[in-house]
């Protein structure tokens, strides 16, 4: 072989060696990345008030397991649900988008044809959810508890949990029925389960642990535990009720207190499972879908003794208590920031945060959430985009609100000088009127100084008010323009 040929062969060998090494490095990086993907768990209560945990100021209810998570992890004092009502909030959490974009403006009732097309409402197939995003990078996924994202549950007429990326699910359409005790309306992977003995919070944790026992341990997992508690109809273990009876106003309040502690005990069992099975590198987030129910707002709300703490309003309000809820984050097996923070965080942020941690691509659509990975690492997180809520069926007067930094601005909605009637759903019969309506009667609060929203400072801070008002009107218009409108398709014979 002459020198020229030798040099040519040598160059080919070097190039091939480099390509093999590069490929090996890429594979090694992928394996390393997969091994670093955290397990992710969302613990979600139903109608838990801002002041219903001991760590958030409740003087009577004992929540030692959640308190320990808050003490050793991150306690979020300024955490927000995506809406002040159930179905909307859950849709926003799953998609990282305002529920208005998904077309879920209120709680979803059982299927019954209505003039405002509310019977059509469901989480539409084109929405992209957390489990779908995480499955794209190798996660196994499970939902146990409450679904409430469709009007036709367990039906081929609308997408079900499995259509949104849940490999395994055991859920109810709405509340546990007839109550939290011995519920009989669970469906497991499309099959009715029948009556299950016990209390809902413990039942779904049992189901979660059973699923964890059978999962592929080589893969990371995403688990959503959606508690029914403490939403009505409330039922609690008798020993816990008796524990609280001497400290409560009456039997019904004791039942509520016991209900919250029963959730805490269920969480404790799940945490113990992780410890005994040596499951580490697991990110846990805990919160509620909205604020506490108002006592006797409807006939069955006779045990609704949830507390908003220092916040104004209750569930269904765009005042703080409607959607500002307890927030706790704990990363088991990972050295992260720990402590109490007033960073403004939302359940909208779960999808982008989880995607970043898992190494998944974000959906190609408008997202309203932002990743708060920096908060986990350093304790610092500054929102770039304000949080905007438009809840057209609110029980307070100002149904549209926006928080940016320390400030919150709110407004009424008026059409031709009259307050716009409450709306359950946006459809082709009311969207034109809503788009003609105007925001009026603005108020401005500094939530850092005035958590109770007791003093309108719009006149005292005219420059801040002007800036906030301009951005508020722009954000609301963009949200309304991007909101889904339900149109009934003509039935064909």
Give the pLDDT confidence score for residue 476 in this predicted structure: 98
Assess whether pLDDT exceeds 80 at residue 400: yes
Q: Are 380 and 336 in contact (CB under 8 A)?
A: no
For 120-177, how does the pLDDT look when each residue is reduced to its tens digit (9 = 90+)? 999 999 999 999 999 999 999 999 999 999 999 999 999 999 999 999 999 999 999 9
| pLDDT score recorded for residue 490 | 76
Helices (H) and strands (E) in the chain, counts: 13, 17
Nearest-angstrom CA–CA distance, 450 and 452: 5
Would you call 431 helix, strand, or coil by DSSP?
Answer: helix
Q: Which residue in the block uniquely carries the two structure tokens 């916040």?
A: 311
Q: What percent of the chain has pLDDT over 70?
A: 92
In the chain, what is the straight-line distance between the N-terminal and C-terminal CA atoms, in Å? 82
Residues 53-74 have a mean pLDDT of: 98
Report how far residue 86's alpha carbon sits from residue 83's, in angstroms, rounded to the nearest whole number.
7
Average pLDDT for the chain: 93
pLDDT digits (tens, 9 = 90+) for 295-347: 989 888 999 999 999 999 999 999 999 999 999 999 999 999 999 999 999 99
Question: Facing residues of 221 across strands?
Answer: 140
Digit-coded pLDDT (tens) for 240-264: 999 999 999 999 999 999 999 999 9
Above 60 in pLDDT, residue 12? no
Which tens digits make up the pLDDT trace of 13-45? 544 444 444 433 333 333 335 569 999 999 999
pLDDT of residue 3 exceeding 80: no
pTM over 0.85: yes
Measured between alpha carbons, how far is 63 from 173 in angstroms, rounded to an integer? Answer: 27
Give residue-wise pLDDT tens across range 349-396: 999 999 999 999 999 999 999 999 999 999 999 999 999 999 999 999
Phi, psi of 440 (to 5 degrees): -140, 170
SS3 label, residue 437 = coil
- Rounded Cα distance, 366 and 98, in Å: 10
The pLDDT, as a whole number, for residue 298 is 87
């Amino acid at each position: 072989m002459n020198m020229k040929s030798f040099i040519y062969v040598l160059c080919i060998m070097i190039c091939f060696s480099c390509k093999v090494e590069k490929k090996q490095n890429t594979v090694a990086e992928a394996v390393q990345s997969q091994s670093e993907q955290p397990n992710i768990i969302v613990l979600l209560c139903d109608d838990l008030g801002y002041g219903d945990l001991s760590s958030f100021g409740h003087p009577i209810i004992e929540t030692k397991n959640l308190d320990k998570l808050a003490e050793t992890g991150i306690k979020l004092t300024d955490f927000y649900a995506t809406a002040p009502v159930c179905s909307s909030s859950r849709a926003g959490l799953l998609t990282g988008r305002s529920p208005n974009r998904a077309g879920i403006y209120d709680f979803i009732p059982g299927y019954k044809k209505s003039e405002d097309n509310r019977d059509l409402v469901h989480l539409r197939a084109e929405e992209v959810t957390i489990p779908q995003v995480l499955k794209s990078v190798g996660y196994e996924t499970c939902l146990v508890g409450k679904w409430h994202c469709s009007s036709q549950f367990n039906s081929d007429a609308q997408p079900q949990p499995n259509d949104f990326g849940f490999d395994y699910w055991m859920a109810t359409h709405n509340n546990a029925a007839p109550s939290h005790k011995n519920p009989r309306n669970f469906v497991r992977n499309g099959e009715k389960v029948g009556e299950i003995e016990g209390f809902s919070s413990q039942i779904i944790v049992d189901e979660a642990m059973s699923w964890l026992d059978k999962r592929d341990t080589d893969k990371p997992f995403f688990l959503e535990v959606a508690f029914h508690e403490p939403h009505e109809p409330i039922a609690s273990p008798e020993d816990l009720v008796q524990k609280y009876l001497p400290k409560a106003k009456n039997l019904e309040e004791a039942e509520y207190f016991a209900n919250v502690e029963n959730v805490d005990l269920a969480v404790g069992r799940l945490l113990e499972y992780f410890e005994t099975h040596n499951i580490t590198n697991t990110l846990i987030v805990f919160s509620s879908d909205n604020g506490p129910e108002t006592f006797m707002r409807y006939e069955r709300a006779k045990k609704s003794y949830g507390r908003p703490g220092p916040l104004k309003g209750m569930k269904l309000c765009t005042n703080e208590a409607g959607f500002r809820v307890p927030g706790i984050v704990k990363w088991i097996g990972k050295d992260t920031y720990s402590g109490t923070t007033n960073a403004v965080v939302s359940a909208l942020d779960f999808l982008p945060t989880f995607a970043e941690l898992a190494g998944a691509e974000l959906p190609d659509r408008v997202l309203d959430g932002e990743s708060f990975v920096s908060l986990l690492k350093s304790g610092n997180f500054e929102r770039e985009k304000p949080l905007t809520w438009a809840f057209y069926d609110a029980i307070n007067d100002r149904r549209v609100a926006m928080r940016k930094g320390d400030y919150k601005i709110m407004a009424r909605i008026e059409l031709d000088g009259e307050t716009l009637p409450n709306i359950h759903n946006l459809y082709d019969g009311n969207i034109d009127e809503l788009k003609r309506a105007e925001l009026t009667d603005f108020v401005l609060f500094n939530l850092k100084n005035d958590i109770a929203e007791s003093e309108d400072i719009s006149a005292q801070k005219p420059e801040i008010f002007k800036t906030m008002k301009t951005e508020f009107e722009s954000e609301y218009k963009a949200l309304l323009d991007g909101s889904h409108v339900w149109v009934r398709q003509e039935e064909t014979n």
